[in-house]
Amino acid sequence: MHYFSLPLACLLLLATLVYTPGLSGDFVFDDEANILLNEQLLITELTPSALKQAAYSMSSGPLMRPISYLTLALNHSFTGLAPLYFKLTNLLIHLLNGLAIFWLSGQLLKAYRRHHQPALTLRHTHWISLATSAFWLLHPLGLTSVLYIVQRMNSLSTLFVLLGLATYCWGRNRQDEGRPGALLLVASVLVFTPLAAFSKENGALLPFFLLIVEATLFRFAMPAPSAKRWLLIFFAVIAVAPAFTVFGYLLTHIDWLLGGYSGRDFTLSERLLTQARVVWFYLTMIVAPNISQLGLFHDDIPLSTGLLSPPTTGFAIAGLLGLLGIAGWAYRRAPLLSFGLLFFLVGHSMESSIFALEMVHEHRNYLPMFGILLPMAYYLLHPTLPEHTRKARIALSILFIAMLSITTAMRASDWGNPIQFSVTEARNHPDSARSQYRLGLTYWQLMEWQPENAEIYAAQAREHFELSRSANPNNSSGLFALLMFDAQTGNAVNPEQLHELETLLRSRPFLSNSAHHLRDINQCQTEDRCQFTAQQINGIFDAALANPTLRGTTRAKVLAEAMIVALVLGDIGRALVKGREAIQADPNDPQHRLNYSSVLIQTGQLGQARNMLQGLVDKGVKPFLHHRLVAQLQALATAEGKAGGPTQSHSTTTY
């Protein structure tokens, strides 16, 4: 094994060099909401309360992903908001995952050698493990889990899943050798499943990956019948029972499942049909990655609305069934291939199934592609294949590694240059509304950075906003950008575009990006950079608030923005109404009460303001809100002093 320390070190160095050009890039897409605008994450002290606040700062999933957010908070605490250090941390996790892939591959091949292929030598297993690790570390599909900072959630979850799998295989191999291993089996589940799931929810798939490993490679082979019964009970508890529980929950909570689609521009059936094609896209990119088809955004992939719309839908579904058939056929004849196909399919069982997630993201392949790459490495370096093909197979492996390295390095270079990144994304995905919108924003920024070329960049910005608008009529980004662009550059707001936006906000499913754009348009108006009339901006917010799919916390946030706009416009009555409605929409968020109490103080309703602030004092607020609460109490005390003293019988509260 120690003979492979140098090649493994060289591989890690190569991976570092490949990714280095991308480390200079910026925050992108969801990084803004999850990091830059996440006040609770941006802690300045490492106290238990601050760390807990950061860990549970966002509800990105049902488990809230506290481990991932905690690491992001620690990054900020030690290095500020410089994206370089966030990306360096991500790269370190990626390298650790590469080592875990090497360890896991060795453990799996050790079991394969004992139970299925005695021709494998220890040296063979090490070379195949090294090749698998190289394929995985250098594959361009792994890039977004490294350079897209918020996808640390994905890479951290993968790390714990890989360690759990390797620990389980280590324990089972020890049992096959007649040594104790039961504690390692238990630890693989009890330790690593929570760590993986609390980094990202698909870490909960670890027990099902373990079941695949056991069923295809170890085959429940135990030295004694009692030990085999124990193993069967073990999997009944960790995999079979949870699967039936989840299935039963979904059957009895169909409304909850379907409710997730109220904020999507596709239905459950459309998602399932489309995912068949998406999974084949993933599989194609794993085996033969094409840099022109890769990208941050894949909203240019058309929806499947029927088995023949588009025609490839039916073929894709038949192909997936065929893969399951091959996995069954290979169970006896080629167990490693059976393992790999099942691993890949189960790896996509959560994010490519019934849940109302976005259609396509490359980072979803970060772990599942291991199921394809391990068999590829095995058959390329298979010891029992004809000897006269050995050199050709080794050369093909080296060529594949070189191709992966070059592709990933080229992508990393694009990601390291924000302007080049936007241009490349839009060029490779001309029908992507998001890519065109991002490039439009880039040209808008260039207008400010290079005023001598402002006219040229203005035309290019407008062109790409128009392309974004036409690429997806249900995506509001292009329309918002066009309206804000005119309002900020002194042009008259286009009434047709304004009407189109209001109609879209009122009648189509309310998408998350619309809430972000409403915040942006509010900030633009508040900072006096945009010149919307009261009728125009209130019309935009009223259209959004009339949308029946705008509910819960998102509705409360939009109402809060509408309240702020009303204050800027001097419409105190409207501000009070929207502030009350925000509290009603999300009564558990103290920020809405703080916002509303500020308006109450401004309008002289000091008694109501004191009652509301006293309620927050009694209940307590998170550390990041302390300064706001203190400021509100001080403002209230000042207002009460001018009015002749506290409006309540008790004295001013200190906090």
Domain boundaries, the chain: 2-412, 422-642
Using the structure block, give the residue that is written with the tokens 């400010």.
448
Among 146-160, 339-353, 494-508, 637-651, the least confident range = 637-651
Quote the pLDDT of residue 75: 96
Quote the pLDDT of residue 642: 83
For 414, the token pair is 């694009």
What span, in angstroms and rounded, lies between the C-alpha atoms of 447 and 513? 24
Quote the pLDDT of residue 473: 85
Over range 247-272, report the average pLDDT: 92
Residue 354 has φ and ψ, to the nearest 5°, of: -85, -15
With b for 16 or more beta-carbon neighbours within 10 A and e for fewer, the 320-350 pattern comes to beebeeebeebbeebbbbbbbbbbbbbbbeb
71 or 45, which is more confident: 71
Q: What is the dihedral of CA 466, 470, 472, 475, to 10 degrees?
A: 40
For 390, the token pair is 């050995």
Using the structure block, give the residue that is written with the tokens 């001598």.
452
Q: Could you tell me if 628 and 598 are in contact, meaning their C-beta atoms sit under 8 angstroms apart? A: no
Q: At what angle do helices 335-347 and 370-380 cross, to 10 degrees?
A: 160
| Residue 104 reports pLDDT greater than 60 | yes
354-393 tens-digit pLDDT: 999 999 999 999 999 999 999 999 999 987 788 888 889 9
Over range 68-82, report the average pLDDT: 95
496-533 tens-digit pLDDT: 999 999 999 999 989 888 999 999 998 988 888 888 89
Quote the pLDDT of residue 129: 97
Q: What is the pTM of this model?
A: 0.93
Task: Please give the DSSP secondary-structure letter assigned to residue 46.
Answer: -
| Residue 165 reports pLDDT greater than 50 | yes
| Residue 604 reports pLDDT greater than 60 | yes
What span, in angstroms and rounded, lies between the C-alpha atoms of 115 and 599? 73
Tally Cβ neighbours within 10 Å of residue 232.
14
Q: What is the secondary structure of 352-375 as a DSSP string?
A: TSSS---S--GGGGTTTTHHHHHH
What span, in angstroms and rounded, lies between the C-alpha atoms of 478 and 461? 10
Task: Please give the DSSP secondary-structure letter assigned to residue 59.
Answer: -
Quote the pLDDT of residue 621: 84
Give just the sign of the alpha carbon dihedral 164, 168, 169, 174: positive
Quote the pLDDT of residue 150: 96
Chain mean pLDDT for the chain: 93
What span, in angstroms and rounded, lies between the C-alpha atoms of 389 and 431? 44
Quote the pLDDT of residue 648: 46
Over range 150-163, report the average pLDDT: 98
What span, in angstroms and rounded, lies between the C-alpha atoms of 267 and 177? 52
| Residue 654 reports pLDDT greater than 70 | no
| Residue 625 reports pLDDT greater than 90 | no
The pLDDT-based confidence of 19 (bands split at 50, 70, 90) is very high
| Residue 280 reports pLDDT greater than 80 | yes
Quote the pLDDT of residue 52: 92
Q: Could you tell me if 77 and 47 are in contact, meaning their C-beta atoms sit under 8 angstroms apart? A: no
User: Does residue 303 come out as left (phi exceeding 0), alpha (psi in the -120 to 50 range) or beta?
Assistant: beta
Using the structure block, give the residue that is written with the tokens 């916002």.
595
Quote the pLDDT of residue 645: 62
For 485, the token pair is 């662009």
Over range 150-155, report the average pLDDT: 97
554-594 tens-digit pLDDT: 999 999 999 999 998 889 999 999 999 999 999 989 999 99
Opening angle at CA 561, ends 560 and 565, nearest 5: 120
What span, in angstroms and rounded, lies between the C-alpha atoms of 76 and 237? 40
What span, in angstroms and rounded, lies between the C-alpha atoms of 188 and 192? 6
User: Looking at the domain covering 422-642, what would its CATH class be?
Assistant: mainly alpha
| Residue 3 reports pLDDT greater than 80 | no
User: Does residue 297 come out as left (phi exceeding 0), alpha (psi in the -120 to 50 range) or beta?
Assistant: beta
Assign 309 to helix, strand or coil: strand
Quote the pLDDT of residue 2: 66
Assign 651 to helix, strand or coil: coil
Quote the pLDDT of residue 263: 84
CA neighbor of 464 nearest in space, from 433, 488, 493, 489: 433
CA neighbor of 201 nearest in space, from 60, 100, 104: 60
CA neighbor of 564 nearest in space, from 530, 541, 587: 541
Over range 296-308, report the average pLDDT: 95
What span, in angstroms and rounded, lies between the C-alpha atoms of 171 and 167? 6
| Residue percentage of the chain with pLDDT more than 70 | 98
